[in-house]
Structure 1
């Protein structure tokens, strides 16, 4: 819905809303599948992902003004999605025998890739590049690296739940302003 609501705010037509909502939903997983050699992305193997994305996009198009009032609720569900996608992507990286950086990258990209595509298609700087007050990609990366380190000691489900919980907690504390990433500012040149 975040992609579809972005499209509605930018006054895209219904097709644009469906496209932006769809690529936001399946973009990260598609990038992950391509990078890890899965010849056919998961959303093409199981169209349920696309149907849910299209339904959410239609709801955003139809009820955008009312849904915008529930921004916090949508953000909560977005955080849950980020957590689950980052952890499941990282688990795939572990199964493929990737090292800690590979697992972290695949997990993080699974979670944030769709949002990056959304922002680029909407002609915006991807939020994960500058939102130091709301850790998003950093939270996904922390959850993914946790998968790498705890997977030998826990089963897949426990690993995914623990890593997802870490992502949610990091997002929560960053939204409260308790944690920020440093930002470097250079002097303006004439």
Structure 2
């Protein structure tokens, strides 16, 4: 396999995204005091959920998640790593957020690229990039009996960094400037934006309320 071939780069980016997302899933399982089976389930769901959704929507069937052995084994490797080397309990939540942000950045790139390769236009490709980036985290949180971060108003912006990264990739494709380097920079952009949102508590705006009226019930935001 030529490591500089675009398809090879896509494959390794996919595996990297799967691994870091799977680590976040396994760490959340530790925080929830689940056993190793629960850790493996959350790792697999987090690592493969977004890509599985993307492939089903764009017609890339059977999905790579069930045909590539590396895709299936990578979350298990992440589970073993977390099982033996997870950080101290008080640091687990921060680690989950950092690995989740890394997965968000990588998957918004790979999802957009793969959607474009299957003939989708820029807007649809960006939407698939967002779905790839956020899908695994949503599935992880639902399995762990938590409201997904994507839908919680009291959580820092989650979808916006992935949307920015996916849009950057779509623009690079449109201008013929997409390379492994620019792909990495796009992933880094989304990753850094997510970390900044966590650091400075950036949140998306709520629905506008006319002055003098009482705010209605809390509505989840992005």
The interval holding the TM-score normalised by the smaller chain is 0.7 to 0.9
In the TM superposition, 1:21-170 aligns within 5 A as 21-64=43-86, 66=88, 69=91, 71-73=93-95, 75-130=97-152, 133-153=155-175, 154-170=177-193
User: What is the number of equivalent residue pairs in this alignment?
Assistant: 188
Structure 1: which 5+ residue stretches go unaligned? none
CA distance in 1, matches of 2:60, 2:121: 18
Contact 1:86 1:108 in 2 (8 A): yes
Structure 2: which 5+ residue stretches go unaligned? 1-22, 208-214
Deviation at 1:34, TM superposition (A): 0.9
Residue by residue over 1:54-103, the C-alpha shift from the partner in whole angstroms, topping out at 9 and shown as x without a partner, is 12223333444537636545533432221111111101122223233311
Contact 1:60 1:67 in 2 (8 A): no
Contact 1:135 1:170 in 2 (8 A): no
Deviation at 1:118, TM superposition (A): 0.7
How big is the alpha-carbon RMSD for the aligned residues of Structure 1 and Structure 2? 2.5
Contact 2:31 2:93 in 1 (8 A): no
Report what 1:182 is aligned to. Answer: 205
Relative to 1, partners in 2 of residues 1:24 and 1:159: Cα closer, same or farther, differing over 3 Å?
A: same
With normalisation by structure 1, the TM-score equals 0.84
Report what 2:3 is aligned to. Answer: none
Residue by residue over 1:118-157, the C-alpha shift from the partner in whole angstroms, topping out at 9 and shown as x without a partner, is 1111121111111565322211111112222221220342
Q: Which moved more, 1:54-63 or 1:109-118?
A: 54-63
With normalisation by structure 2, the TM-score equals 0.73
